Chains A and B, each alone.
Chain A
Amino acid sequence: MRLKRKLVPWIYSLPAMVLIGAIIVFPILYTGFISVTNMNLFHWSNYRIIGLENYERALLKVDSGFLKAIGTTIMWTILNMILQIAIAYFIALGLNVKGLRLSRLYKTLLMFPWAMPAYVSILLWRVGIYNTEFGLLNKILTTLGIHKVNYLSENVPAFISCMVLNLWMALPFMIMMIDGALQSVDRSYYESAKLDGAGFLAQNIYITIPALKPILAPAVIMTTFTTFKQFDIVYLLTMQKGSLTGSTLQTIITYAQQNAFVSNNYGLSSAVSIVIFVFIIVFSLFTNRGIKEEV
């Protein structure tokens, strides 16, 4: 009977664990194995173990492009997070101003980019907004008499284009999270702060931001991961099969994917994947305190 009670929780979670084991854990281990082989298109089944050569190639040779991709990814994550939090904070503050009667309507309209399927949004932006011939941006430029710009053909404009799109897609979530958190801040703090003569800036620095920090930490960490992992935007905007736009922008994720499915360099791609995974583990250990579980 005691043994049975002990086994019960395991039996309950068994189906889920089997599923996770097959789809998440095993592929990661298998990726680890591939990373020490020379598997590629020509060595599909007669590959052999070559040790850490792939890692060496990824991390030590600058022309492998991986180091550059790391730089791009870090910059991408930091810039996006700063802009996202700052912009969302002010919009959420605006939404919570007393007497703004239409705030519910605004909130709903602002949620649309989040509700849209991500790949649909990206493809709509690629053709509808950024396209050189019939994108909206260039139509506006032509109407104003300025010559057309090719937004996605070079790295810096492509990076900015991707970032604008990412902000468009990710801001609603942030706005909603901050808006929700703002409503949980005790109003009486502001009353007494006003009595003490604290202005808008002081109220924000001393009351709002400290109060929001613990509530928002999980959402911010989650978003940081999503931003870091962002693949669709860069891939769909600039490097779809058969319609490369000319920019060579790579994040580490697109770099790994391109090596696996375009240049068929499975060993190298797997080595890169494992390196990224190690990064993520280290990063998680740092942020773990934010998502501590109460037991």
Chain B
Amino acid sequence: MGGNKIKRRIGLTLLNVVFIILCFVGMIPILYALILSVSDGNNALSSSLSLLPKKFTLHNYSAIFIEEPFVLWLKNSVILSIGTCVLAMGTSVVAAYSFSRHRYKGRKSILKLLLLLNAFPQILSMFAIFRLFKECNMLNSRVGLVIIYAGSMCIFSIWNMKGYFDTIPIEIEEASKIDGASDMKLLRKVILPLARPAIIVTAVMVLIFVWNEYLFATTFMLNDKSYTLAGGLYQLQANDYSRSWPLFSAAAILVSIPILIVFFCIQKYMVSGLTAGGVKG
């Protein structure tokens, strides 16, 4: 059996080599941006290939805070994210619970209809929303943008959480129901703690969506004081990016870090929180 063992060893080594190459190639765009963000301008703009920065500098990072309204954009992003999260989760948790636990006429058709509506790419109705908001004087307002974002994520949130609520056995509630607990109390005391993975994943998905959204943010917010990080960054590279390319890569790294941290914190919930709704049946 000695030969077999050696063969296995070689196979595993090869597999490791393949994966190391794969991971490295996959990381190149990010690593490259990271390297550029800490090197001075000449390095980035020369067309010669040099992987390591000739001179290490944090100048680009400080320049973002001093020369660009980065802090302001950050503030806008945080406000919008939190506002959207509260509105979207507040409305959809209750709706998801009612879809999961109550049985009534029209329930299934509404759920199907929601799924269909969710398939409609929002960009396509952007102009209609734009015109509507213009009539209502809601352009350039954070509240308006929060409503758009919450509306866009509402269906996804309902479906995602309803799927998970369905997997929670109803018997757990029956017991409390006999004790006279109301729906709202049941939701708060029984369902929310049990459905934590789905709720966390859904909320994070909403946050990430807002954090990353640039098209509505730049179309509906008309002055650069109200840009979000995504909108500001988009603008930063749109105006003469060749000059600001190292600056842009530093900003890109800064913007991505919170998302990366959040993402890897909830990764263990990701599969169960995202698939529970779909896997059944």
Chain A contact residues, CB within 8 Å of chain B: 6, 8-10, 12-13, 15-17, 19-20, 22-28, 30-31, 34, 91, 94-95, 97, 99-100, 102, 106, 108-121, 123-125, 127-129, 133-134, 136, 138-140, 142-143, 168, 176-177, 180, 215, 217-219, 222, 225, 229, 231-232, 240-243, 253, 256-257, 260-261, 266, 269-270, 273, 276-277, 280-281, 284, 288, 291-295
Q: Check A13 against B94 for contact (C-beta < 8 Å).
A: yes
Cβ of A8: which chain B residues have Cβ within 8 Å of it?
98, 102, 183
Cβ of A125: which chain B residues have Cβ within 8 Å of it?
29
Q: Could you say which of B30, B123, B154, B242 has the most chain A C-beta atoms within 10 Å of its C-beta? A: B123
Give me 27 A-to-B residue pairs in the complex whose CB atoms sit less than 8 angstroms apart, sorted by A's number: A8-B102, A12-B97, A15-B91, A16-B92, A20-B155, A22-B151, A30-B131, A31-B124, A97-B15, A111-B263, A112-B27, A115-B256, A116-B30, A116-B260, A124-B30, A128-B32, A128-B249, A136-B28, A143-B48, A177-B271, A219-B278, A225-B119, A229-B121, A232-B215, A280-B119, A293-B108, A294-B166
Q: How far is the CB of A235 from chain B (nearest CB, A)?
A: 8
CA distance A242 to B241 in the complex (A): 12
Q: Check B120 against A253 for contact (C-beta < 8 Å).
A: no
Does B164 make an interface contact (CB < 8 A)? no
Q: Look across to chain A and name the residue whose beta carbon is closest to the beta carbon of B92.
A: A16
Q: Check A19 against B91 for contact (C-beta < 8 Å).
A: yes
Which of these, A15, A143, A168, contacts B95 with CB under 8 Å?
A: A15
CA distance A230 to B120 in the complex (A): 12
Q: Could you say which of A15, A20, A243, A284 has the most chain B C-beta atoms within 10 Å of its C-beta? A: A20
Cβ of B116: which chain A residues have Cβ within 8 Å of it?
280-281, 284
Q: Check B260 against A115 for contact (C-beta < 8 Å).
A: yes
Q: Check B125 against A110 for contact (C-beta < 8 Å).
A: no
Q: Check B242 against A133 for contact (C-beta < 8 Å).
A: yes
- The B interface, classified by DSSP as helix, strand, loop or mixed, is helix
Does B248 make an interface contact (CB < 8 A)? yes
Cβ of A10: which chain B residues have Cβ within 8 Å of it?
104
Q: Check A116 against B271 for contact (C-beta < 8 Å).
A: no
CA distance A133 to B45 in the complex (A): 8
Q: Check B158 against A16 for contact (C-beta < 8 Å).
A: yes
Q: A120-B252, A123-B237, A180-B275 are in contact. List 7 more A-B contacts (CB 8 A).
A: A22-B151, A34-B128, A100-B12, A110-B23, A133-B45, A280-B116, A281-B119
Q: Check A34 against B127 for contact (C-beta < 8 Å).
A: yes
Does B168 make an interface contact (CB < 8 A)? no
Contact of A20 with B117 at beta-carbon distance under 8 Å, contacts A124-B33, A133-B47 already known = yes
CA distance A34 to B27 in the complex (A): 45
Q: Look across to chain B and name the residue whose beta carbon is closest to the beta carbon of A179.
A: B271
Does B233 make an interface contact (CB < 8 A)? yes
Q: Check A140 against B121 for contact (C-beta < 8 Å).
A: no
CA distance A40 to B256 in the complex (A): 39
CA distance A27 to B148 in the complex (A): 11
Q: Look across to chain A and name the residue whose beta carbon is closest to the beta carbon of B25.
A: A168
Q: Look across to chain A and name the residue whose beta carbon is closest to the beta carbon of B184.
A: A12
Q: How far is the CB of B181 from chain A (nearest CB, A)?
A: 14
Does B175 make an interface contact (CB < 8 A)? no
CA distance A113 to B208 in the complex (A): 14
Q: Check B102 against A9 for contact (C-beta < 8 Å).
A: yes
Give the top 7 A-B pairs by smallest Cβ distance, nearest first.
Answer: A23-B151, A218-B278, A12-B98, A27-B125, A9-B102, A273-B124, A16-B95
Q: Could you say which of B97, B117, B128, B158 has the most chain A C-beta atoms within 10 Å of its C-beta? A: B128
Contact of A27 with B256 at beta-carbon distance under 8 Å, contacts A134-B45, A293-B111 already known = no
Which of these, B30, B126, B155, contacts A260 with CB under 8 Å?
A: B126
Which of these, B107, B132, B155, B234, contacts A24 with CB under 8 Å?
A: B155
Contact of A253 with B123 at beta-carbon distance under 8 Å, contacts A20-B155, A99-B8, A240-B238 already known = yes
CA distance A295 to B27 in the complex (A): 44
Q: Mark B178-203, 1 if CB is under 8 A from A, else 0.
A: 00000100000000000000000000
Cβ of B152: which chain A residues have Cβ within 8 Å of it?
23-24
Q: Look across to chain A and name the residue whose beta carbon is closest to the beta carbon of B244.
A: A127
Cβ of B132: which chain A residues have Cβ within 8 Å of it?
26-27, 30
Cβ of B117: which chain A residues have Cβ within 8 Å of it?
20, 24-25, 28
Cβ of A139: which chain B residues have Cβ within 8 Å of it?
47-49
Does B18 make an interface contact (CB < 8 A)? yes
Contact of A280 with B120 at beta-carbon distance under 8 Å, contacts A31-B128, A142-B49, A177-B275 already known = yes
Q: How far is the CB of B198 from chain A (nearest CB, A)?
A: 15
Q: Check B120 against A119 for contact (C-beta < 8 Å).
A: no
Does B279 make an interface contact (CB < 8 A)? yes
Contact of A294 with B281 at beta-carbon distance under 8 Å, contacts A113-B26, A143-B49 already known = yes
CA distance A142 to B120 in the complex (A): 44
Q: Look across to chain A and name the residue whose beta carbon is closest to the beta carbon of B122.
A: A24
Q: How far is the CB of A244 from chain B (nearest CB, A)?
A: 12
Cβ of B211: which chain A residues have Cβ within 8 Å of it?
117
Cβ of A222: which chain B residues have Cβ within 8 Å of it?
278
Q: Check A23 against B271 for contact (C-beta < 8 Å).
A: no
Cβ of A19: which chain B residues have Cβ within 8 Å of it?
87, 91, 147, 150-151, 154
